[in-house]
Structure 1
Amino acid sequence: MTSIPKPLSPEDSVRLLELLGSDDDFRTLFQANPPAALAIVSEAAGKASVDCSSAGALASKEEFQAARSRLLSHLTSEGAFTLPHCFVSGDVDSSLSRKPRP
């Protein structure tokens, strides 16, 4: 049984997007091990992401910066990792308008 993903706090969401949009070491860790990377953001973010896995190549820093406001809204209002492809290169912004599959 998997738990229902919970939204990240506004503070954790801002920090996550800052790191994904600027920090190469964090981005490398996030691509390889999202839960370990999220644990750097905060203990709560790490716990919220235990079932998180990468769905493809991580979006560029520029893609994260361009979609920041939409991603921030998504992370704080919905389960943080219900849409793992929302961080995938080429899909970071468009995936936010799709609903996850049941």
Structure 2
Amino acid sequence: MNSANAIPVAGTESASSQTSKPPIPSGVAITLLQRLSSDDPFRELFMSNPRMALCEVGYDLPPNAATPMCMMVDELASKEEISNAYDSLYLHLTGGSRASMLVPHFFAAGHTIKAANSPE
């Protein structure tokens, strides 16, 4: 089980503006991870159109912004894998770690915990 309600919102680590992505707001990250770990239709949307999936959970990317690479995967991690890595994924998405949104294939099957625990 995750501990989303127990996680304080972490500050953003400073990184080069050319290489880092803005953190996702806490509420959006919580909703995204909850839906990826439980909602099959949402998971299908995330695989076919990650931008639309982000919009559905309340995060609108600017029209000219690229879809974050961490959200473009060939095989989405299982609901269980996402649930098991929830706290680490939350910290990455909200900017609580240096690797926030920099790790490619963040939601790829078999890589969520490894990616979430990556120092960069």
Distance in 2 between the 1:46 and 1:17 partners?
16
Distance in 2 between the 1:3 and 1:36 partners?
23
Q: Is the 8 A contact 1:35 1:50 kept in 2?
A: no
Q: Is the 8 A contact 1:8 1:80 kept in 2?
A: no
> TM-score w.r.t. structure 1 length?
0.81
Q: For residue 76 of structure 1, what is the amino acid of its counterpart? A: T
Distance in 1 between the 2:45 and 2:22 partners?
22
1:40 equivalent to 2:60? Answer no
Structure 2 residue matching 1:46: 3-state secondary structure = coil
Q: Is the 8 A contact 1:17 1:68 kept in 2?
A: yes
Instruction: Percent identity, please.
Output: 32
Q: Is the 8 A contact 1:13 1:75 kept in 2?
A: yes
How far has the Cα of 1:95 moved from its partner? 1.2
Counterpart residue number, 2:10: none
Structure 2 residue matching 1:22: 3-state secondary structure = coil
Counterpart residue number, 2:115: 95
RMSD over aligned Cα atoms: 2.3
Distance in 2 between the 1:25 and 1:3 partners?
32
Structure 2 unaligned residues grouped into runs of 5+: 1-17
Q: How many correspondences in the alignment?
A: 97
Match of 1:68 among 86, 96, 110: 86
How far has the Cα of 1:98 moved from its partner? 2.8
Structure 2 residue matching 1:47: 3-state secondary structure = coil
Distance in 2 between the 1:15 and 1:84 partners?
21
Structure 1 unaligned residues grouped into runs of 5+: none
